[in-house]
Amino acid sequence: MAKRRVRALQVSVICGLMALQFPAFSNEENTQQSVSEVQAVAPVTPTESLVKITQSLPTDVKPIFSTQLAKLYADRQMQLLWQDETAISQFQQQLAELSLAGVQPQFGEWLAILENNQLNELGRDVILSDAMLGYLQYLSSIEASGQYWLYTNRPYKIIAPTTAQMKPWIDAVESNNLSSWVKSQAPNHPMYLPMRKEMLKLLAMPEDNLEIVGTKTLKPGQSSDDVVILRQILQREGLLEGGNVTEEVAPPETMAQVAELAVEQTVEPTEPSDAPASTVSKVYDQELVDAVKKFQLQYGLEADGVVGKGTRVWLNMQPKQKAGLMALNIQRLRIIPASSGTGILVNIPGYSLDFYLNDEVILDSKVIVGRADRKTPIMSSALNNVVINPPWSVPTSMARKDIAPKGKQDPSYFSRKGYTVYSGWGADSYEINPYAIDWDNITPANFPYRIRQAPGPTNSLGRYKFNMPSSDAIYLHDTPNHSLFNRNARAISSGCVRVNKASELASILLGDAGWEQKRIDGALKEGSTRYVNIPDRIPVFLYYQTAWVDKDQQPQYRADIYQYDNSIDNADKYLPMLKKILH
C-alpha cells in the first residue's frame, strides 16, 4: 500500500514538473477552446457596423456619410479612429475657422453635435469621422472649385470623398501620425497665422453694439453727440488709448473758436470713462482726427479725417462681423499663391497690382477693375506678349450697350473718338460710313457692326496692352485717363484691368525681351502697332481678398465691391459656440 502511494506521488510530481516546463501541454485543452472562440468571431459587416453606429448616436443625430462610415468602421472591426486628443483639438479649430467663414453651414452642425454631452465614445468618434469626410471633400476640391465656393452665400453641395481622397487621413491614423497630419491641413500660407491672430482678437472684443447714428458728415473741429461713440469705437479698435474727459462745452460758433478750444482743452489721457456722456467732450478734436485717419488707411478710404458715409459704415461694423470677414479670407488663402516667386498679383477689391521677382516686389501699382455689372473675374493666366500702340477692337457687348447709342444720337461721335466702323467681323468686312447707317432701324440689340479704335494717345487701351490667354478676353492695359487713379473707389472698367504704372510694367517686360528704353520710346513716337513676345511667360493671378494683415502687422479691410462676402451671415447662429471653441 505504501509502495503504491509512493509511486502515485512520483507520477504526480513528474506530471507537475512537465506542466511547469511545458505549459502548453497542461493548457492544451484550454488553448484549443480559445482558438475555437476566435474562429467563431466573424468580421463585422457594414450592415452590422451601421447598426452599432446608429446605436451610438442620439436619436436625432444622423451622419451625413452613413454608408461610407459603416464600411470604414467595419473594415477596422469598430476600432476608434480618434484616440489622439491633440489631433481632435486641432481638427475642431480648423472646423471652427471654416464654420465662421460660413462657406458650408454643415461644419457648424458637426461642431454643435460634438458639443452634445449625450455622445458616447463611439458616437463622438463617428461624428468626428463624418466631419472629416466632409472636410476631405472640401480640401480636395478647393483648388478647382474655390473661385465658386468662396465667393457666394449659397453653400456648395456636399458629396462623399473618394477612396483616394480618404487615404492620407487613414494612413495618418494607422501610422499614429494623426496630429501632425491634421495640423498640416490648415492653410499653407504666410498670411494665415497673422490673420488668425487678428480673427481671435476680434472675437475676444465685447459685443458693445456701438453705433454712430448720425447721418451728417463730421468734420474736424465740429461738435456732435456722435463724437462720444466715435471715441469709444476708436478705443475698442486700439487706435485711441484714452478719452479726453472735460466739461461739456457749448458748440462754438466759428471754426476759429473750435481750433482754440481744441488746443486749450487738452488734458492728460485717461482710461475710457464710465462717466455720463454729458461729461465727455463732444468736440471732434485733433486726437480723434488723427485716429480716424489711421482707421481710414486700414479700410482703404481716403485718409482725410472726415467721417462721411463710407467711414461711418466701417466704424459701425461690429467686431464679430469683421472676424467673419477675416475667417472667410483665411479660407481664400487656399487658392492664393503662398509663394509669389515671380509673377503679377492683382487684388481686385484692393485695386492693387504687385509684380514679384524672386519673392521681392519690384513694382506696385494702382489698378482700375470691372464695375459690379461687368466684374473682373478671379483667374490665373500668364502674360505672353506686350502690344505697343495697341488698336482696340471693341467687344460686341460694349459696342452695342455703350457706343451704338451714342453713335445713333450723333454719328460724328465715331470720328471724334477715333473709331472706324466695319461691316462685320469677317476677313472680308469693309469700312462703313456712320452717316450711311440706317439708324432708325438700328437698336443696341441688333447692332451688327464691328468697331475698331486706332492706336494713339486717346486710344482706350492707352500705349500698352499686356496679353494673356483668357476665356473672358481679360487682359491688363494702359489708359489715356490716368486721373481716374486718383479716385478711391476704382471699380469702373468693363472687366479688364487698367494699370496706372503701365509704362514701368512695359519697360520691365520689354527689357526682358531685349528692348532698351530708347527703342521703346522710338516705337511709341513712330506710332505703329508692335507685338513683342515675352521670352519667359509671367504668371498672373487676379484674386479677391477683402481682409488681410499687412507686412506691418496691421489689419486691412476693403469694400466688398462684388458682394462676394455674404456667406459670413451663414455663421451667425453658431457664433456663441465658435467663440468658445476657437483659441
Quote the percentage of the chain above a pLDDT of 90.
Answer: 81
pLDDT-derived band of residue 2, with 50, 70 and 90 as boundaries? very low
**Residue 235 within a domain:** no
C-alpha–C-alpha distance, residues 114 and 109, integer Å: 9
Last residue of a domain, one of 134, 168, 188: 188
Q: What is the largest CA-CA distance in the chain?
A: 144
Last residue of a domain, one of 188, 215, 244: 188
If you write DSSP's letter for every residue of 355-402 in order, what string do you get? Answer: EEETTEEEEEEEEEEE-TTSPPPPEEEEEEEEEES--EE--HHHIIII
Same domain, yes or no, for 388 and 473? yes
**Residue 488 within a domain:** yes
Same domain, yes or no, for 478 and 421? yes
Q: What is the three-class DSSP state of 533?
A: strand
Helix (H), strand (E), coil (C) string for 186-207:
CCCCCCHHHHHHHHHHHHHCCC
Assess whether pLDDT exceeds 60 at residue 27: no
pLDDT in tens, 122-146: 999 999 999 999 999 999 999 999 9
Characterize the bridge pairing of strands 476-477 and 464-467.
Answer: antiparallel
**Residue 324 within a domain:** no
More confident residue, 356 or 1: 356
Quote the percentage of the chain above a pLDDT of 70.
Answer: 86
Asked if 583 is an active-site residue, the reply is: no
Domain count, the chain: 3
Same domain, yes or no, for 424 and 375? yes
Instruction: At 76, give phi and psi (nearest 5°).
Output: -105, 15
C-alpha–C-alpha distance, residues 559 and 547, integer Å: 9
246 contacts 267 by C-beta, under 8 angstroms: yes
Same domain, yes or no, for 36 and 52? no
Q: Spot the catalytic one: 15, 189, 477, 583.
A: 477
Same domain, yes or no, for 30 and 58? no
Stated length of the chain: 583
| Contacts for 134 with CB less than 8 Å, ≥ 6 apart | 64, 65, 104, 106, 107, 110, 158
Same domain, yes or no, for 30 and 178? no
**Residue 319 within a domain:** no
Same domain, yes or no, for 27 and 111? no
**Residue 162 within a domain:** yes
**What's the mean per-residue pLDDT of the chain?**
89
Same domain, yes or no, for 427 and 542? yes
Same domain, yes or no, for 494 and 434? yes
pLDDT in tens, 463-484: 999 999 999 999 999 999 999 9
| Contacts for 2 with CB less than 8 Å, ≥ 6 apart | none
Same domain, yes or no, for 25 and 165? no
Same domain, yes or no, for 31 and 177? no
C-alpha–C-alpha distance, residues 563 and 514, integer Å: 43
**Residue 555 within a domain:** no
| Contacts for 258 with CB less than 8 Å, ≥ 6 apart | 221, 222, 223, 252, 283
C-alpha–C-alpha distance, residues 279 and 260, integer Å: 20
Give the H/E segment covering residue 251.
none
Assess whether pLDDT exceeds 50 at residue 37: no
- Domain span holding position 13: 7-40
Asked if 496 is an active-site residue, the reply is: yes
